[in-house]
Each structure stands twice: as C-alpha cells, then as structure tokens.
Amino acid sequence: MNPGDTWTVMVNAGQAGGRIWARTGCTSTGPNGLTCTTGDCGGVLQCTGYGKPPNTLAEYTLNGFSNLDYFDISLVDGFNVPLSFLPTNNGCTVGPTCSADLNANCPAELKTDQGCNNPCTGNPNCGPTDLTRYFKNLCPTAYSYSKDDATSTFTCPGGTDYMGKSAVLKGFTFVMYVYDE
C-alpha cells in the first residue's frame, strides 16, 4: 500500500467480528512463509490467529446488540502504524482515528524495532497509567488499555460500510483475522 491508500474487506454473511492489523518489516521465507518485525503470524503468510505485538488494531463486531456494529482502534497490543477506521454510509460519520506517529517519541521502556509496546499488552486487568496515557494523549479515540470503552468504542447501524486508511510509507501488508461468536 502507498501512503493514503484505503483498503476494503469483504465480510461474509454471518461473520461476527474480526481484527485487522498491519505487518511491517516483512521478509518472504518461501511460498507460504512471511516473517515480520511487527504483526508477525508465526512466520506464515496466512494468519490463523492474532499477530505478534506491537500492532495497531482495527476491531469490529457486526450486527451485535440492538443490531449495531461496534468498532474501534486498539493500542492495547501496542502501536506500529497510524490508522483510521471510519464509516462511509448509513448516516454514520464518526469513527476512531490514530494519526499520530507514536513510534517517534515512544518511551524508552516500550520502544521496539518498528513499534511501540503498550504496558498493558497481555494484561486484561491493566488500567490507566502514565505509560498508557502516552497512547491516549496522542490518539484520544483509540483504546489505550482494555477497559478504555467510554471514549473508544464506536457504533453504527448494522449494514454500515467502513473504510480503513493508513498514512504511512509503503512496505506493509494488512491482515484480517475473523472470528465467530
């Protein structure tokens, strides 16, 4: 993808939800192999589970409670690329955006090659801290810890279409992991 390109994901009927993330620093290791610095899927091209942190996530649940779509950008698994995840129809006009480059000034204890780890990664009971506030201050509509719902969960009527967009340099691929509830 080039800077500013958008991507479209066709979702199968009955799909409950999914996660979308970018893999960066990838090297092909054969016809079915791909090793990446961020968002790696165990060295395979086709992901069958979640990517290795740090990775910026776009998450969604379709036709959930009250026939609403629920969607967000999560930094709970860290940050690797700026990302927006916006509705495009059904009168729905607001969605999460994380356009800041959190890698540029990532706190030293969280910095990794091509990414910024979140102190709450892998800890569902982690709450707001000075380090999670670094994420929240730069990306106020994104999750910075797992219970950060009040300012980070967005809803639209079921059947809404969405557009994902990243304003980073060329050289990453998006992955979609689908789950059924």
Residue 42 placed within a domain? yes
Q: Give the per-residue pLDDT at 169.
A: 43
Tell me: the pLDDT tens digits for 23-39?
Answer: 888 888 988 899 999 88
Q: Give the per-residue pLDDT at 2.
A: 56
Residue 158 placed within a domain? yes
Q: What is the pTM (predicted TM-score) of this model?
A: 0.85
Residue 33 placed within a domain? yes
CA dihedral of residues 10, 176, 160, 155 (deg, nearest 10): 170
Q: Give the per-residue pLDDT at 168.
A: 53
Paired tokens of 3: 């800077």
Q: State the residue range of the domain holding 70.
A: 6-179
Residue 93 placed within a domain? yes
Q: At 3, is the pLDDT very low, low, confident or very high (cuts 50, 70, 90)? A: low
Q: At 159, is the pLDDT very low, low, confident or very high (cuts 50, 70, 90)? A: confident
How many domains would you assign to the chain? 1
Q: At 171, is the pLDDT very low, low, confident or very high (cuts 50, 70, 90)? A: very low
Residue 151 placed within a domain? yes
Instruction: Give the mean pLDDT of 41-64.
Output: 89
Residue 173 placed within a domain? yes
Paired tokens of 164: 């994902």
Residue 142 placed within a domain? yes
31 touches 48 (CB < 8 A)? no
Tell me: the pLDDT tens digits for 102-123?
Answer: 999 999 999 998 899 999 988 8
Residue 1 placed within a domain? no
Stated as kind and residue range, the H or E segment containing 19 is strand 17-24
Residue 67 maps to which CATH number? Answer: 2.60.110.10
Q: Give the per-residue pLDDT at 1.
A: 54
